[in-house]
Amino acid sequence: MHPPAAPVRRRDRGSLARDLLALQATVVAIVVLVASVVAYARARAAVEEAAEAEAIGIVESLTNSPLVLAAVSGAEPTAVLEPYVERIRADTGTSFITVLAPDRTRYTHPDPAEIGRPFRGTIAPALAGQTFTETYTGTLGPSVRATGPVLDADGDVVALVSAGITVAAIGDDLTEALPGIVLTALATLAVGGLGSWAISRRLRRQTHGLGAAPLARMLEYHDAVLHAVREGLLLVDGGGRVQLANDEARRLLDLPDDPAGRPVTELGLPAELTALLTGQQLTVDAVQVTASRVLVVNQAPATQGGRAAGTVVTLRDHTELQALTGELDSVRAFARSLRAQSHEAANRLHTTVSLVELGRTQEAIDFATAELALAQRLTDEVVAAVEEPVLAALLLGKAAMAHERGVVLVIDPESTVGATGLPGGDLVTIVGNLVDNAVDAALEGPPPHEVHLLLRAAGDTLEIRVEDTGPGLTEEQTHRVFDQGWSTKAAPRGHHDGLGHGLGRGLGLALVAQTVRRHGGRVGVRPGPGAEFTVTVPLRAPAHQS
């Protein structure tokens, strides 16, 4: 046979990380492109504004120059102005500077052939005494120009000055800024691409290479399982905070809302259950008693990537099973007592027959009727005092069991109980555990080993009082006797402690207290030699069948 092949880890081709990387790369590229276009447009606007400011500065400088005013007022303005203006144009890098007469006749121009010809452009605002700017197509092509008036001493316009920079020259200046824009865009694109790749790589590790569809299916299955599973499920992190609790866990723990994110210590759970959950130790089938339920708790460490991430806790409702177990224990005890009585009856029958064969007829009759009267008396006491069938059967079984162990169960003559309306399982839990505990305690005391039981229904309250002849409890012990896990002795191996059914010692009295509180009753214990437990439970009207 060939060894099984190692499982191949399957990756989804359309992984979420890859899809996100493609989406991020597209977004980054679009953002960089838009930013580059905006940067180019702003750079162009800035160059044009700079050109306009430069043209205005040149025009205002020339219009206020005494040399220009004197030249345009003289006989040969061109001869004076042409070299002067051209020198300024060369120094400033301006495309053209033109001085012209109010009738548009040019005095100066970079192209000597254009001198004396009409100026092309708007001059009306300048003739009105204003300096303005415009973009106009003249002899040198489209240009950004500024035009202003030259005023004499009387404020009359005697000439105009126009300076401008061609659009082509502006384009050259913009071209010089373009490499910076391109480099910035490429750097931004590279940084964005690397960041997207790093995020995608981390996301790929966290999602195990799965795509959006598989993740969505996993989430749906996860949600469906949490709602459908009939076990309570808790995820507790390393800090003792609940990270997840399904519907069943909230029901079993009586939590009003979702406890996710809350510390376990703030959930109002019993102290022992809280200590178990915060201890985060491996736990298998630990029985925990809450205010209203008996729970079986399993807890195991959770790991993520080889690191501890808290614990996974499962909860199973054991309440009904505990009640059935108690009833089963009672039936088993009753069956054992019947077998023992059958064995004793056979012995007594053999004894009686032997006495008859020996001719001692009267002694045989006395021996047989005495044993019968003792058994019948106990049965009559129970039946006369207790009308509840389940409770009567329980007491007969417990009496036989106590007799086998050398303890006498004494039913108080004042006992009288009719139909209680309480569930039979709860009666078995309360009375069965109290009697079992009393029998164990009586065996630890000196003879006679006795347990006294009073069952009395007075008005709408059922009173149960169980007293033993054992060593009793101290005042300090009475404060802990109903705590789960507390006991005055170690349970013998294989011993089934009442409804505990071998699941751990110190559970029976905790179940008694839980059951009594669930029915709105009270339970107390008297310290001293011969402990006495008293239970009062409100009665319910029994259901009548139609």
Kindly report the backbone phi and psi dihedral angles of residue 522, in degrees, each rounded to the nearest multiple of 5, phi listed first: -135, 150
Q: Which single residue is written with the structure tokens 């839990």?
A: 429
3-state secondary structure of 501: coil
How many residues are listed for the chain in this entry? Answer: 546
Q: Report the C-alpha gap between 115 and 113 in whole angstroms.
A: 6
Mean pLDDT of 454-481: 83
Q: What is the pLDDT of residue 543?
A: 46
Q: Which of 141-150, 169-178, 491-500 has the lowest mean pLDDT?
A: 491-500
Q: What is the pLDDT of residues 210-222, one digit of tens each?
A: 666 666 666 666 6
Q: What is the pLDDT of residue 59?
A: 87
- Other C-beta atoms closer than 10 Å to the C-beta of 519 total 16
Six token digits for residue 444: 């630890």
Q: What is the pLDDT of residue 160?
A: 92
Q: With bands split at pLDDT 50, 70 and 90, how would you rate the model's confidence at 485?
A: low
Q: What is the pLDDT of residues 401-413, one digit of tens each?
A: 787 788 888 888 8
Most confident region among 94-108, 209-223, 488-502, 508-522 by mean pLDDT: 94-108
Q: What is the pLDDT of residue 11?
A: 45
3-state secondary structure of 197: helix
Higher pLDDT, 360 or 480: 360
CB contact at 8 A, 232 and 315 = yes
Q: With bands split at pLDDT 50, 70 and 90, how would you rate the model's confidence at 155?
A: confident
Nearest to 515 by CA among 433, 395, 440: 433
Nearest 5 degrees, angle CA 403-CA 405-CA 407? 55
> Burial of 491 by CB count in 10 Å (0-12 exposed, 13-18 middle, 19+ buried)?
middle
Higher pLDDT, 382 or 27: 27
Most confident region among 314-323, 453-462, 479-488 by mean pLDDT: 453-462
Mean pLDDT of 317-323: 66
Q: What is the pLDDT of residues 159-197, one digit of tens each?
A: 999 988 877 766 666 666 677 777 877 777 777 777 777
Any alpha helices (H) in 103-211, and if so which ranges? Answer: 124-127, 167-207
448 CB-side CA count, 13 A = 9
Nearest to 214 by CA among 419, 425, 395, 16: 16
DSSP 8-state secondary structure symbol assigned to residue 512 = H
CB contact at 8 A, 117 and 106 = yes
Nearest 5 degrees, angle CA 144-CA 150-CA 152? 175
Mean pLDDT of 36-64: 81
Q: Which of 92-101, 170-179, 447-456 has the lowest mean pLDDT?
A: 170-179
Distance of CA 355 to the CA centre of its chain: 80
Mean pLDDT of 330-359: 71
Nearest 5 degrees, angle CA 66-CA 68-CA 72? 120
Q: What is the pLDDT of residues 195-207, one digit of tens each?
A: 777 777 776 766 6
Q: What is the pLDDT of residue 5?
A: 43
Q: What is the pLDDT of residue 13?
A: 54
**Mean per-residue pLDDT over the chain, rounded:** 76
CB contact at 8 A, 231 and 315 = yes
Instruction: Give the containing element (helix H, strand E) for 457.
Output: strand 450-458
3-state secondary structure of 510: helix
Q: Report the C-alpha gap between 519 and 392 in whole angstroms.
A: 21
Mean pLDDT of 57-68: 87
489 CB-near residues (< 8 Å, 6+ apart): 440, 444, 505
Q: Report the C-alpha gap between 474 and 456 in whole angstroms.
A: 27
Q: Report the C-alpha gap between 405 and 442 in whole angstroms.
A: 10
188 CB-near residues (< 8 Å, 6+ apart): 28, 32, 35
Any alpha helices (H) in 386-423, and if so which ranges? Answer: 389-404
372 CB-near residues (< 8 Å, 6+ apart): none
Mean pLDDT of 84-94: 86
Q: What is the pLDDT of residue 500?
A: 35
Q: What is the pLDDT of residue 496?
A: 36
DSSP lists the bridge partners of residue 137 as 142
Q: With bands split at pLDDT 50, 70 and 90, how would you rate the model's confidence at 329?
A: low
What pTM was computed for the model?
0.46
216 CB-side CA count, 13 A = 5
Q: What is the pLDDT of residue 498?
A: 35
Higher pLDDT, 340 or 243: 243
3-state secondary structure of 160: strand
Q: With bands split at pLDDT 50, 70 and 90, how would you rate the model's confidence at 9?
A: very low
